[in-house]
Amino acid sequence: MKVTVLGAGSWGTTVASLVAGTNETTLWGRDLEQMAEVREQHTNSKYLDGFTLPERLDGTADLEAAVSGAHVLVVGVPSHAFRSTLEAATPFVHPWIPIVSLTKGLEADSMMRMTEVIKDVLPGHPAAALSGPNLAKEIMAGQAAASVIATEDLQVASALQAVFQQGLFRVYKNHDVIGCEMGGALKNVIAIAAGMAEGLSVGDNTRSAVITRGLAELSRLGEAMGGEVATFAGLAGMGDLIATCVSKHSRNRYVGEQLGQGRSLEDILDEMKMVAEGVKTASSVMTLAGRHGVELPICSEVDGVIRGDITGDHAFRGLFRTAPGHEAEPG
């Protein structure tokens, strides 16, 4: 089976490396030099410095060559480039093949989830999302991890499960695409809040409270949008949230930590090689919350910090000014 992965960042490269264990696999990226390095030196020093890629993994900057003949197309570019990349690939996509999203975010203008973008650009193709607590460098180091392949058609899910499950990378099936994608998008916003707690040195008790109440917010909006409650207690919900909020490898946690230390968002983003999806997602999440009549106090404070309306310190003071009610209620 030929699998093509679009997007040569850390996660796209990691997934391509996994899949190459048992499949003919091509990794596509825009940078000619980077893709030559993947193909000839079997490394991706920009995003995964120190790791060796499989020799059988091909790399190319030629989109037509990458996509033509693929039996599974995997898209791992940032959310702001997801639609344009898929549209550019469309003339070369084989009819009816499954399209899998690795991207944990929302399209800014439409508020669409990535599988919704897939269905919009390539109607008729099965759309799926791979989501879970999956930190690229740990997986490249050979450490065990688990993920979820989410698509409405469980026969398609079974076929994709066989593609992605490799070695110690364990893949479960789930039909709740909405829940899995919303869990993956919202946890990035909560991770910024958890990072701010760390940057402000407010203690592990506070950080634990932020993560737990953040899970409640994630679940509340996800359910309002049609997700299932069990999903938010699983790998694509709580599992991904914990990993993103506490790991030193988490980009969104890092952004929050630096904001908590008083740095400007512009300076933080300028020094980063990779995209922290939570920065762009915060505004979209608040728009969706308003649309569905859901209160999200933590996400609201994060959005305020990102927009520059308040500081991280003011955000935390704001959260604790609200009198707590029942634990099942917002706040």
Q: Which two tokens stand for residue 225?
A: 């949008």
Nearest 10 degrees: Cα torsion 308, 313, 317, 320: 100
Q: Which residues on adjacent β-strands are paired with residue 127?
A: 99
Contact yes or no for 34/60 (Cβ under 8 A): no
For the chain, how big is the Rg over CA atoms in Å? 19
Q: Which residues on adjacent β-strands are paired with residue 130?
A: 149
Rounded Cα distance between 123 and 138, Å, is 35
From residue 251, how far is each of 160, 201, 215, 229 by CA, in Å?
A: 27, 18, 19, 27
Task: Give me the catalytic one of 187, 248, 273, 280.
Answer: 187
**Ordered alpha helix ranges (H), the chain:** 10-19, 32-40, 63-67, 79-89, 114-121, 136-140, 154-164, 177-199, 204-224, 229-232, 240-246, 251-260, 265-271, 277-292, 297-307, 312-319
Active site residue 187: yes
Sheet of 169-174, strands arranged across: 58-60, 24-28, 2-6, 72-75, 99-101, 127-131, 145-150, 169-174
Crossing angle for the helix pair 154-164 and 10-19, to the nearest 10 degrees: 90
Q: Known catalytic residues?
A: 187
